[in-house]
Amino acid sequence: MEAYLDNSATTRAFPEVADLVARVMTQEYGNPSSVHHMGVLASERLFGAKETIANTLKVDPAEIVFTSGGTESDNLAIIGAARANAWRGRHIITTSIEHPAVLETCEYLRREGFEVTLLPVDETGVVRLEDLKKAIRDDTILVSMMLVNNEIGAIEPVEEAGKLIKSINPQILFHVDAVQGYGKLLIRPRSMNIDLLSVSSHKIHGPKGVGFLYIKKGSKITNICFGGGQQKGMRSGTENVPGIAGMALAAKMCYSDLEGKVKELYELKEYLMTSLSERISDIRLNGPAARDGAPHIVSVSIKGLAAETILNMLSSKGIYVSAGSACTSNNPHVSDTLKSVGLPKDLLESTIRISMSFETTREEIDYLLDTLESQVDTMRKFYRH
């Protein structure tokens, strides 16, 4: 048996999505910038995808810009907003638990002369609004905050933050990295005062290498990619039509009966967290309570064992999880998120992330639990960290 429980790293494409991608690649393969029939078909695919995605957010299709994924969307949003608004100020606010695509982009801007404030979080990984309020200055031009933390599943108070930011200064742009939240949570950028929203396709059962950035009409942002002037000059380069078509279909499928699917996922998450506590000794569950966090992410520290040791054992049994996040699993530095929530030093390198999807089954969770229960105590005798 196999149990794929690393869905926050990437998801398996829905079969319908894979079929559509293949069809577009082999039958509707024209360049959307071409004026002949095949080009028109491709262009129509792009417009249809924009309409589908815009409908999941209740925004204007013209406000959707296609990218190569979440990282590019974050880069375009943050660098584009910073450069376009530098004349007003050079202060940017973000949080200490952001994805590297945000933190490293902000660090790049710091080297360009911008000032960056990192907001702390509480022990559950949630930003305090009073800290955000204190951090906003007259020269603040951008606030960037993730919707769902990719390591511990904390849901940030994005709607409240947007309201606060705009009440202090409506000109401050509010960027939200929704890579882990889109397709799992209902997002309404207009009512939430979000100006820029980043999304990645492969987190929602779509193809890899494609994503989008929502840019609210009127937002001051400049392009950072130059070339053929596609997408009204905001993101040059021939559009990935098969990937975009697949992403739009995946989005539509995720948001179909979202409430029912999320309800089942929360029930599975609660079962997993309760069972871990009851069946595995000397562990710590990190982040918010089951219903307070995202429905698909569980972070657990297994005392006395290195995460790498646990991962290797589980992988040998056909169970796939990650250490913290996929983006930090191959990086030797300790997770900034886990340090930010005050995880004890002896647990920082003993933490694994279990991430589910709408396709995850109770049988997969039971297989994980049975394996951990049968292996952990024995492993502690031989591989104590």
What does the mean pLDDT of the chain come to?
A: 95
CA distance linking residue 120 with residue 128, whole number of Å: 8
Residues 337-351 have a mean pLDDT of: 91
Name the token pair of 278: 């009851």
- Candidates 3.40.630.30, 3.40.640.10, 3.10.450.50, 3.40.50.720; correct CATH number of 15-255? 3.40.640.10
CA distance linking residue 216 with residue 221, whole number of Å: 10
Among 163, 203, 157, residue whose Cα is nearest residue 182: 203
Asked if 162 contacts 153 with a C-beta cutoff of 8 angstroms, the reply is no
Checking 198-202 for CB contacts under 8 A at 24+ apart, the result is 198/70, 198/73, 198/74, 198/77, 199/70, 199/73, 200/69, 200/70, 200/71, 200/73, 201/69, 201/243, 201/246, 201/247, 201/250, 202/10, 202/11, 202/13, 202/69
Give the model's pLDDT for residue 335.
84
Among 287, 330, 348, 96, residue whose Cα is nearest residue 322: 330
Cα three-residue angle 300-337-274, rounded to 5 degrees: 20
Is pLDDT of 333 > 70? no
Among 356, 358, 352, 360, residue whose Cα is nearest residue 376: 352
Three-class SS of residue 260? helix
Name the token pair of 6: 């690393």
Is pLDDT of 69 > 70? yes
The CATH code that applies to domain 3-11+258-383 is 3.90.1150.10
Give the model's pLDDT for residue 329.
47
Is pLDDT of 384 > 70? no
pLDDT tens digits, residue range 171-210? Answer: 999 999 999 999 999 999 999 999 999 999 999 999 999 9
Is pLDDT of 232 > 80? yes
Three-class SS of residue 335? coil
Question: What residue segments make up the domains of the chain, in order of their start?
Answer: 3-11+258-383, 15-255
Give the model's pLDDT for residue 346.
86
Give the model's pLDDT for residue 324.
67
Give the model's pLDDT for residue 385.
55
Three-class SS of residue 312? helix
Tell which wins on pLDDT, 181 or 323: 181
Q: Which residues are catalytic?
A: 327
**Percent of the chain, pLDDT > 70?**
96
